[in-house]
Amino acid sequence: MCLLITVTCVLGYAASANAAVTTVEFEFSGFINAVYLNENEALGNVYVGQPFEGWFSYSSVPDQRPGSAYYGTYAQDASISVTLGTLTLAYIDGFVYINVNNDINVNNDCLEGDGFSFAVDALEGDFNFTGYGLTLSDSTGGVFIDDSLPMSFDLAEFDQTKLIIRGSTYPQFDWFDVFGEITSLTVVPEPASAVILGVGAAALILRRKRQ
């Protein structure tokens, strides 16, 4: 099975004390399109076509592989939550592997073009995740201009938009391996931006009423 998730060992990094850190949050939704494994209904009654929704967030930390123009690594404490039926898989402020691939061409379909991956490999509550997150990829390499951490996405630019939920229950070790297709991905406005948008919308409505 071909995935774009790349796990990179990070010993740590020191960010500049004066560097401004921006945190961005995204909302997404879609439907399950493959259930390879779900032992003893570890994730509940998961079925193809089942809708899901969720959100994830991360911060603009420095690239831990600055010497490469093609591989960006931004492993950090980040968050993701997916609601699937009655089950919510929440992983909040835990270590996450974030990778950005820009214009990769190594004669390997797993690493060709542009790609973004957000992956959890950790124990959280009743679940031992070995690959929980999402992967966006474009085989043409036309999405990213470098390996910078994206602060926004246009879902239409990607060939593949995957949700991945892989791992096992703990300590029962009932394995699950479920894929979904993400059909909507939007940035959640910051509170200040949301207020500005709200004021602007209210002013437009009032203007139309006066007219």
Q: Which residues contact 13 (CB under 8 A, 6 or more apart)?
A: 61, 62, 64
Per-residue pLDDT tens for 7-39?
A: 333 333 334 444 588 999 999 999 999 999 999
Question: Does 156 reside within a domain?
Answer: yes
Question: Does 178 reside within a domain?
Answer: yes
pTM: 0.80
Structural domain boundaries, residue 105: 23-210
Q: Which residues of 20-58 are buried (b: 16+ CB within 10 A; e: fewer)?
A: eeeebebebbbebeebeebeeebbeebeeebebebbbbb
Question: Does 5 reside within a domain?
Answer: no
Q: Give me the number of domains the chain comprises.
A: 1
Question: Does 201 reside within a domain?
Answer: yes
Per-residue pLDDT tens for 91-133?
A: 999 999 999 999 876 545 455 799 999 999 999 999 999 999 9
Question: Does 6 reside within a domain?
Answer: no
Report the pLDDT averaged over residues 129-140.
96
Question: CA 41 to CA 38: how far, in whole Å?
Answer: 5
- CB of 133 closer than 8 Å to CB of 4: no
Question: Does 11 reside within a domain?
Answer: no
Per-residue pLDDT tens for 160-188?
A: 999 999 999 999 999 999 999 999 999 99
pLDDT at 6: 36
Question: Does 16 reside within a domain?
Answer: no
Q: How far is CA 165 from the centre of its chain?
A: 12
SS3 category, 159:
coil
Question: Does 15 reside within a domain?
Answer: no
